[in-house]
Amino acid sequence: MAEAAADFGMEDFASLLDESLGREAGLEGTVIRGTVVSVDGDFALVDVGLKSEGRINLKEFSRAGEESALRPGDVVDVYVERYEDRDGIIVLSRDKARREEAWNVLETKFNENQRVDGIIFGRVKGGFTVDLSGAVAFLPGSQVDIRPVRDITPLMGNPQTFQILKMDRARGNIVVSRRAVLEESRAEERAKLMAGLKEGMILEGVVKNITDYGAFVDLGGVDGLLHVTDISWKRVNHPTEALSIGQTVKVQVIRFNPETQRISLGMKQLEADPWEGVQAKYPVGTKFMGRVTNITDYGAFVELEPGVEGLVHVSEMSWTKKNIHPGKIVSTSQEVEVMVLDVDPEKRRISLGLKQCLGNPWEDFSAKFPPGTVVEGEIKNITEFGLFIGLEGEIDGMVHLSDLDWKMSGDEAVKDYKRGDVVKAKVLDVDTEKERISLGIKQLAEDPFERAADGLRKGQIVTCVITAVQDNGIEVDVGGMGTAFIRKSDLSRERNDQRPERFAVGEKVDAKVTALDTKNRKISVSIKAREIDEEKQAMAEYGSTDSGASLGDILGAALRQKQEETKED
C-alpha cells in the first residue's frame, strides 16, 4: 500500500507540476500585473506571482530625457516576453505592456473613427515617428500639415491630435495624419468665415504662397489673393520685397465674389493714400529731391515720397545726350533733384524733369558767347549741309556750307576740312528754344564784296571780263568784285545784237550797274542799259531829230568825238 500510495503521490505531483508549468508558460505574450520589489541601479525587480521575479530597465518606465519615478511597492502592468531565460529569470517588458494597452485603445478609436493624441518624437525616411501612448505610429511628411512645413521642430515634443488612417496589428503598423484633423477644422472655419465675409472687413492672415503677381493669404480656412499692386502704395517690383511665407499680415477685403468665392485682399488700403492733395504738395515748376526706383527704355521713375512716384521721360533727362538709354544717365536708388513739369491726380501721374535742374547749356553759351564772338572747337561731324563743331557745355554749333568761304562754293570749300580738325569760327546766332547755334568761318575774314562795293554805285559803268557764254546770256566778272549774269535781253539795245554767241570768253565789255544788293552779295549789270544811256547823252549833246538831224547823224557825231578822245588819250 505504501508503495502504491507513494506511486500515486508521485504521479499526482508530476501532473500538478506539469499543469503549473503549462499555466505559467502560457503567460508568455500576455500582460499581467506585478509589484515592484526593488529598484537597483538601472533596473527594477518586479514580482508577478510566479516562481521568480523579472527585471525591467528603468528607461521603460519613463519618456526619453526624463528620470523614472518608480518606487518599491508600485503596481505596474508588464508584458511577459519569456517565462525563463537561460539564467532562470522571467523576461518582462513595460514598453510592450504599454504598447499592448495602447493598441487595444487605438483599435477601438480607429473603429469608431475617433481622433487620438500623440507626440512626434523622431524622424524616419519619408516622415516622422509618433508616440501614441506607447504605440509607435508613422506620420508621412505629406500628412503633417495642410501646406508644406519647412521646419517641424516647433511641433516635435508637443502633444498633437491625429487621425488614424490605417492599422495592422499583425505587422505592428499604424499610419496617422495630422493634416486630416486640420482640414476638418479648416472646413468648419471656412464655412463660418464665408458666411460672414463682407467687403471692407479687416482680417488677419498668414502668407501661404508667393508668386510673381502677388501672395495668397490664409485667412483661416480660406485663401485670398493679395495682388502685388495692393501690397503698398510705394512701388513693389516683387512680393518678396515686402512679404515672406509664414508671415502674419493684416489685410482688408477689397472684393468678394460669393459665387466663385474669390477674395481679393489689400494691405495698402489700411494706410492713408499719399496721392491725396498731391497737386498742392508738388506744384508745377518746383524742385524736389527723389530716389530712382525703376529704369525703363523710355525713362526713369523717381520716388518723391513713399507711394508717390513721377516719371522722368528720357527726353527730359539731359540737354545734350540724345537717343541714349536712361540707365546711362541715372542708376537705381540714386538720389536726384527733379522739377515738377505736370501733375495729373486722376491718373496718378507726375511728369518730372531732370535736365531742368541743370543749367540750359544754350542759354549759358548765349550769355558767355554772344553773336560776333570767336570760338574754337573740334569738327565732330561733316554732313551734306555743313560742319558740326563741338563747343563748351557739350553742345554743337553748325557752320553752313555757305559760311565756309567768301569766294569758293560750299561744296568746294568743305573739301579742305575733316573730322577731328580744330577750327575757329564766329558766332552768328544762338536760338535757345530750338537749341541751335549758327557759326561762320568765312566771317573771320573781311568780305571782299563789301570792300569792293564801297567804290561801286548804282548807274556806274564798269568794265567786265566775260567768264562764260551760255544760251540765255553771258557770265562776267565785275572788276574782281564778283560775278554777274547778263541776260540775253540785256546784251544789246538792238534785238539783232542780243545774241550770246557774238561774245567770247576773255573779252571785255562795258556795262551799267543796274542793281547792287550788298545783303545778298549780288550785282546786276546791263549792256543794253549802258547803250540807252549813251544814246540819251548823244542826243542831248548833238541835237535831236526835231532840229532836222537824223539819228544816224547824231550817233555818228558822238562816235567820231569818242574816237578822237580815245586817240588823244
For residue 60, the domain's CATH number is 2.40.50.140
130 and 150 share one domain: yes
Query: Which region holds residue 506: left if phi is over 0, alpha if psi is between -120 and 50, else beta?
Result: left
**The domain boundary residue, chosen from 161, 184, 207:** 184
Residue 196 has pLDDT above 80, yes or no: no
119 and 105 share one domain: no
User: How many angstroms separate the CA atoms of 523 and 315, rounded?
Assistant: 47
Q: Mean of the pLDDT values across residues 428-451?
A: 85
Considering the domain boundaries, does residue 91 fall inside one? yes
Helix (H, G, I), strand (E, B) or coil at 49: coil
120 and 99 share one domain: no
Backbone angles phi and psi of 431, in degrees to 5: -110, 100
Q: Mean of the pLDDT values across residues 115-119?
A: 90
**pLDDT at site 82:** 64
User: How many angstroms separate the CA atoms of 501 and 20, rounded?
Assistant: 162
* Cell numbers describing residue 558: 558822238
344 and 310 share one domain: yes
Q: Mean of the pLDDT values across residues 57-71?
A: 67
Considering the domain boundaries, does residue 85 fall inside one? yes
Residue 277 has pLDDT above 60, yes or no: yes
Residue 198 has pLDDT above 70, yes or no: yes
Backbone angles phi and psi of 277, in degrees to 5: 70, 20
Per-residue pLDDT band for 298 (boundaries 50, 70, 90) equals very high
**pLDDT at site 465:** 93
Residue 40 has pLDDT above 80, yes or no: no
Give the residue with greater pLDDT, 389 vs 559: 389
39 and 54 share one domain: yes
Whose CA is closest to 199, among 259, 257, 267? 257
**The domain boundary residue, chosen from 297, 331, 353:** 353
Whose CA is closest to 542, among 555, 530, 532, 529? 555
Considering the domain boundaries, does residue 11 fall inside one? no
**pLDDT at site 249:** 92
Residue 472 has pLDDT above 80, yes or no: yes
470 and 491 share one domain: yes
147 and 90 share one domain: no
**pLDDT at site 234:** 83
Per-residue pLDDT band for 12 (boundaries 50, 70, 90) equals low
Candidate from 20-29, 93-102, 142-151, 406-415 with smallest mean pLDDT? 20-29
Residue 525, domain extent: 448-538
User: How many angstroms separate the CA atoms of 490 and 538, rounded?
Assistant: 20
Considering the domain boundaries, does residue 464 fall inside one? yes
Give the residue with greater pLDDT, 412 vs 539: 412
Helix (H) or strand (E) holding 486: strand 483-487
Long-range contacts of 460-464 (CB under 8 A, 24+ apart): 460/512, 460/513, 461/510, 461/511, 461/512, 461/513, 461/530, 462/510, 462/511, 462/512, 462/513, 462/525, 463/508, 463/509, 463/510, 464/508, 464/509, 464/510, 464/511, 464/525
Residue 22 has pLDDT above 70, yes or no: no
255 and 298 share one domain: no
Considering the domain boundaries, does residue 154 fall inside one? yes
**pLDDT at site 6:** 44
Q: How many domains does the chain have?
A: 6
**pLDDT at site 565:** 53
Q: What is the pTM of this model?
A: 0.46
Residue 66 has pLDDT above 70, yes or no: no
Residue 18 has pLDDT above 60, yes or no: no
Contact by Cβ (8 Å): 166, 174: yes
**pLDDT at site 458:** 85
Question: Which residue is it, cell 568761318?
Answer: 441
Close Cβ partners of 75 (under 8 Å, ≥ 6 residues apart): 33, 34, 35, 36
* Cell numbers describing residue 425: 569760327
286 and 241 share one domain: no
461 and 503 share one domain: yes
Share the mean pLDDT of the chain: 82
432 and 455 share one domain: no
**The domain boundary residue, chosen from 245, 270, 295:** 270
Close Cβ partners of 504 (under 8 Å, ≥ 6 residues apart): 466, 469
Considering the domain boundaries, does residue 410 fall inside one? yes
Long-range contacts of 58-62 (CB under 8 A, 24+ apart): 60/93, 60/94, 60/95, 61/94
**Which tens digit of pLDDT belongs to each residue from 225-268?**
999 999 988 888 899 988 998 899 999 999 988 888 889 999 98
Give the residue with greater pLDDT, 338 vs 520: 338
Considering the domain boundaries, does residue 104 fall inside one? yes
Residue 103 has pLDDT above 70, yes or no: yes
Residue 78 has pLDDT above 80, yes or no: no
Q: Mean of the pLDDT values across residues 407-423?
A: 88
Considering the domain boundaries, does residue 549 fall inside one? no
534 and 470 share one domain: yes
**Which tens digit of pLDDT belongs to each residue from 136-186?**
899 998 888 877 777 888 888 888 899 999 988 778 789 999 998 888 877
Helix (H, G, I), strand (E, B) or coil at 420: coil
